[in-house]
Amino acid sequence: MNKRRWVVLAGIVVVAIVAGIGIKGIFDARASKERQTLYTAALKNYSDALVPGTSRRDVEAYLRQRHHPYRQMCCVANHRSAYADLVKVGQEKAPWFCNQNNTYVAFEFDSIEPHGPTADARDSDRLLGTRLFPWLEECL
C-alpha cells in the first residue's frame, strides 16, 4: 500500500473514532436525563407521602415499612439543628477522583427539643422538606 492510502485509511479511522465518541456522548446524555426523571419522580412520591411537619419517627417508620434503607447525615443543605435522613435513589458515573456519585432524597428536619452543641437525630424532630441530594463519596 502506498503512503496516500495509509493517510486516507488513518483519516477514516480518526473520523470513525471521533464519531463513536460523539455518539456515546449522546447516549450517555440521554441516559442521564432519564435517570434524572426517575430521581424527580422518586422525590415527588416521597414529598406527596411525607409532608412538612411529619415527625422523624413517622418518616422513619414509613421508610422501614417499605424496606427503604436510609442513613443520617448532618448539614445536607443549610445548617440545621437536626440530622437529615438520606434514601439512595440512584447513581451516576463518578469522576476519576471519587469512587461513587450517588443521588439521594434528603429528608431535612428541624428539632423541636433542645439539642446539645452538635446536631443529632431525635424522634420528635419535624420534617421541613425533601430535596434531591447528589453526593460524591469516597473521594481523594
Pick the range with the lowest mean pLDDT from 19-28, 39-48, 79-88: 19-28
Rounded distance between C-alpha atoms, residue 111 and residue 103, angstroms: 25
Judged by DSSP in three states, 65 sits in: helix
Position 79 pLDDT exceeds 70? no
Rounded distance between C-alpha atoms, residue 81 and residue 111, angstroms: 6
Q: Supply the DSSP symbol for 61.
A: H
Q: List the grid coordinates of 99.
A: 469512587
Q: Supply the DSSP symbol for 78.
A: S
pLDDT digits (tens, 9 = 90+) for 33-48: 899 999 999 999 999 9
What is residue 23's predicted lDDT score, i.e. its pLDDT? Answer: 72
